[in-house]
Structure 1
C-alpha cells in the first residue's frame, strides 16, 4: 500500500510543476486558474483570478461544467503546499486535459514570497 506522500511524489514526477519564480508568469498566461483547497481556505486568501474547486469535487465539476470542457486550455492549479494540486493535475491529465500545471510550494510559498493575495468581498449590510 502506498502512502499519501508516495502518491504525491508519483504525481509530481508525471506533471509539470512551475517554480515560484515562474508562478506569476504562469498564472498570467493561464486560461484558467484553479485553487483546489477547501472553501474556507480560499476565503482566507487566494491568488487573484482563481476559481475555487475543492479537490474532492474536481472530477465531478470538470465533467459537468460546460466552461471547463475544453481540454486544450492552459490550466494552472494550486493548493496549500502543492500535494493536492499535484494529485489534481495528474487526474486532469488522465481525464485528457493537455496543458495542466501545478505551482510548486502552493499558496503558502506564493504568500511567503510576497506575491499578491486576494480576498473575497465582504458582504455589505448597509
Structure 2
C-alpha cells in the first residue's frame, strides 16, 4: 500500500529527535554538533543557514561517512520544511549514526537563532 508523503513524514518523525532552531543552536554551541542542510545546492545558495554544510539528501549517506566517522557525534539536519530532513535523519540512523536531530522549522528561523546566539556572545 502506498503512503501519502505527509503520513510518511509524520510516521518517521515519531521515531526521531526533533527540536526547534533555538534549541539546536544552543546545543550546538555546547556540543559542537554538525549542522547539515539537506536541500538542493541552489536552495542552499539562495538562503543558507550560518554554519550549515550543504549535502543534498540524495548524497547524504555517502558524504556523511566521509565527513564524520564518529557515530556518536551530534548531527543536526534541516531543510525548508523539515520533511527532507526527517527522511534524511531516518537514513543516517540506519547507517549507524546515534545522535541525529531534525530541526523542525523554516530556514529563516534557523538563521535568526544562530544570529541571536552569536550576538548574545559578544
Q: TM-score range by the shorter chain?
A: 0.7 to 0.9
Q: Is the 8 Å Cα contact of residues 32 and 75 (structure 1) preserved in structure 2? A: yes
Q: Is the 8 Å Cα contact of residues 40 and 56 (structure 2) preserved in structure 1? A: yes
Structure 1 length as normaliser, TM-score? 0.79
Instruction: Return 5+ residue gaps in structure 2 as ranges.
Output: 116-122
Q: Is the 8 Å Cα contact of residues 30 and 75 (structure 1) preserved in structure 2? A: no
User: How far apart are 1:36 and its partner, in Å?
Assistant: 0.3
User: How far apart are 1:45 and its partner, in Å?
Assistant: 1.8
> Is 2:97 aligned against 1:97?
yes
Which structure shows the bigger proportion of residues in helix conformation?
2
| Ranges of 4+ aligned residues in structure 1 off by more than 2 Å | 26-31, 108-111
Q: Is the 8 Å Cα contact of residues 24 and 76 (structure 2) preserved in structure 1? A: no
Number of residue-to-residue matches in the alignment: 112
Cα separation, 1, equivalents of 2:53 and 2:20: 21
Q: Is the 8 Å Cα contact of residues 81 and 109 (structure 1) preserved in structure 2? A: no
Instruction: Return 5+ residue gaps in structure 1 as ranges.
Output: 117-126
Q: Is the 8 Å Cα contact of residues 81 and 108 (structure 1) preserved in structure 2? A: no
> Is 2:82 aligned against 1:82?
yes
Structure 2 length as normaliser, TM-score? 0.81
Please name the residue that 2:120 is paired with. Answer: none
